[in-house]
């Protein structure tokens, strides 16, 4: 893609109302645009990163479930059926905005904050026999939550992206087996996103689903809103919310001896057991023809929050730093041609060859000063920068700089062409 065609521009200053580092940098670099607190548009660069994060998640989830797309909007009835219409403290409702709209229909709807209420009846319709189970569905979709504080940029949206997976089982044992396998899939996702080392399975409250614990995936991050008690040796952590004398005894853990660190919850998996199947009267027929309750699990990951966490963790003074797996482009090609037509032509040719070879390149073909190109390139944070200038061209070279390490190497244009 040509930078001259990107419809966004970088900016030197972050908007005054953005306090979170991820929002400041992503806005300055032209990845996102704030619509209002907790609600962002994803611009071309930002959308590329988000899609890549979601693709990594999708590839791992395809191994353990079937992708679906559930509606963002639903009737209030299904939420009333589980009793959660009145109890989910972030649930949002929507109605016609004006008289004209209300005259057409005065119905009100729920903007889904999670999808147990939607998926359970769907699973029930098609999976009524022991032969149909286990089965698992997942989606990657937009969620709505009436969050109290939305000052953390992508870390806490009122509208945000979530991958949510739901699994249905014959009994608790089968659920447990699947649940443990899902943990491994989650670890693979975080590893591929470059967060493996710093992301820990964390025992947390089971919410109103289970008296058991749920498992969060917490990434160590200064900007995170959670405090975890970390046992590095055993690679397990405890959310502060479960650090009680009773749990110390139940788990045989001396919480006081553990390291306390700030972290951000990037994923959360719950054994739902029979909470939702009971609400929808979802049973299956076993081998003997008897009706049995279906056991469920749910498994969430936040792709847009992950994008924010990755910015918080890897960015430096000069700007964003993307891991290769999710960078918007792999190569940032800078043409420092100035008035030199020869350099401009060579850069143009290298760009075309890179594109033809299938490389992911952003080409800074703009007519701006070199200093501005360098600063923008640092801010945008693409892993590799190729610089074609009068000086490098005179030596038949291209300068290659790694964004993360700052390491510079000179590569001959012939070698570069061979490697394309
Ligand atoms: P938190 O405790 O941070 O409010 P949660 O426990 O309510 O999150 P879950 O219902 O477990 O969130 O949602 C699954 C995943 O979706 C979370 O692990 C997180 O990655 C992501 N997520 C949840 N709320 C938000 C939000 N407001 N903005 C962005 N991502 C979110
Ligand atoms: Mg959670």
36, burial (CB in 10 Å: exposed 0-12, middle 13-18, buried 19+) = exposed
Distance 299 CA to ligand 2 centre (A): 9
The continuous run of DSSP H or E covering 220 comes out as strand 213-220
* CATH domain 3-72+112-314 topology: BirA Bifunctional Protein; domain 2 (3.30.930)
Which residues, chain by chain, have CB under 5 Å from ion ligand 2?
268
Pick the CATH number of 331-419 from 3.40.50.800, 3.90.1150.10, 3.40.50.720, 3.40.50.410: 3.40.50.800
Nearest CA to ligand 1 atom 13: 300
Burial class of 175 by CB neighbour count within 10 A (0 to 12, 13 to 18, 19+): buried
Element holding 301 (H helix, E strand):
strand 295-301
Q: CB 293: neighbour CB atoms within 10 A?
A: 16
What stretch(es) of the chain map to CATH 3.40.50.800? Answer: 331-419
Maximum Cα–Cα distance for the chain, whole Å?
Answer: 84
Q: Is the peptide bond before 396 cis (omega within 30 degrees of 0)?
A: no
| Residue-wise DSSP of 334-364 | EEE-TT-HHHHHHHHHHHHHHHHTT--EEEE
Give the span between the Cα atoms of 388 and 384, in whole angstroms.
13
Provide DSSP, 223-236: T-SEEEEEETTTTE
- Could you read off the pLDDT tens digit of each residue along the chain, which spans 420 residues? 999 998 888 999 998 999 999 999 999 999 999 999 999 999 999 999 999 999 999 999 999 999 999 999 999 999 999 999 999 999 999 999 999 999 999 999 999 999 999 999 999 999 999 999 999 999 999 999 999 989 999 999 999 999 999 999 999 999 999 999 999 999 999 999 999 999 999 999 987 666 689 999 999 999 999 999 999 999 999 999 999 999 999 999 999 999 999 999 999 999 999 999 999 999 999 999 999 999 999 999 999 999 999 999 999 999 999 999 999 999 999 999 988 999 999 999 999 999 999 999 999 999 999 999 999 999 999 999 999 999 999 999 999 999 999 999 999 988 887 777
- Ligand 1 centroid from CA 397, angstroms: 48
Q: Ligand 1 pocket, 214 CB below 6 A?
A: no
Distance CA(150)–CA(148), nearest Å, equals: 7
Choose one of 144, 152, 305 to mutate for the ligand 1 pocket test, by most ligand atoms within 8 angstroms of C-beta: 305
Task: Give the closest ligand to the alpha carbon of residue 156.
Answer: 1
pTM (2 decimals)? Answer: 0.97
Spell out a b/e string for 248-263, using b for 16 or more CB atoms within 10 Å of the CB, else e: eeeeebebeebeebeb
Instruction: State the distance from the centre of ligand 1 to the C-alpha of 143, rounded, in angstroms.
Output: 10
Q: Is 122 helix (H, G, I), strand (E, B) or coil?
A: helix
CATH 3.30.930.10 domain residues, the chain:
3-72+112-314
HSE-up (13 A, CA, CB side) for residue 321: 14
């Amino acid at each position: 893609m040509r930078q001259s065609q990107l419809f966004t521009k970088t900016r030197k200053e972050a908007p005054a109302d953005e306090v979170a580092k991820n929002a400041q940098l992503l806005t300055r670099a032209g990845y996102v645009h704030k619509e209002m607190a907790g609600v962002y548009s994803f611009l071309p660069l930002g959308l590329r990163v988000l899609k890549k994060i979601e693709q990594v998640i999708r590839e791992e989830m395809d191994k353990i479930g079937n992708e679906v797309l559930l509606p963002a909007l639903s009737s209030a009835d299904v939420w009333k059926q589980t009793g959660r219409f009145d109890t989910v403290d972030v649930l949002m409702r929507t109605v016609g905005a004006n008289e004209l709209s209300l005259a057409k229909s005065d119905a009100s709807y729920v903007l889904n904050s999670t999808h147990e209420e939607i998926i359970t009846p769907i699973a029930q319709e098609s999976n009524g026999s022991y032969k149909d189970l286990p089965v698992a569905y997942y989606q990657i979709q937009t969620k709505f939550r009436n969050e109290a504080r939305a000052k953390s940029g992508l870390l806490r949206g009122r509208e945000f992206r979530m991958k949510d997976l739901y699994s249905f089982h014959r009994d608790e044992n089968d659920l447990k087996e699947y649940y443990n396998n899902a943990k491994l899939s989650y670890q693979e996702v975080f590893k591929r996103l470059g967060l493996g080392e710093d992301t820990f399975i964390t025992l947390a409250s089971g919410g109103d689903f289970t008296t058991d614990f749920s498992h969060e995936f917490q990434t160590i991050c200064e900007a995170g809103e959670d405090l975890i008690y970390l046992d590095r040796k055993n690679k397990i952590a405890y959310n502060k919310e479960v650090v009680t004398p009773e749990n110390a005894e139940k788990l045989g853990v001396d919480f006081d001896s553990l390291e306390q660190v700030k972290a951000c919850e990037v994923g959360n998996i719950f054994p739902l057991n029979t909470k939702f199947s009971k609400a929808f009267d979802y049973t299956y027929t076993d081998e003997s023809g008897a009706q049995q309750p279906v056991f469920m699990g749910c498994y969430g990951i936040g792709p847009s929050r992950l994008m924010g966490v990755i910015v918080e963790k890897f960015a430096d003074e000069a700007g964003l730093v993307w891991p290769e797996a999710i960078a918007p482009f792999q190569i940032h090609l800078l043409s420092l041609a100035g008035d030199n037509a020869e350099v401009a032509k060579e850069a143009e040719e290298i760009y075309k060859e890179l594109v033809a070879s299938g490389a992911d390149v952003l080409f800074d073909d703009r007519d701006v000063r070199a200093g501005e190109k360098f600063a923008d390139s640092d801010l945008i944070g693409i892993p590799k920068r190729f610089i074609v200038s009068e000086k490098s061209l005179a030596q038949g070279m291209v300068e290659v700089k790694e964004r993360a390490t700052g390491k510079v190497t000179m590569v001959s244009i012939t070698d570069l062409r061979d490697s394309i």
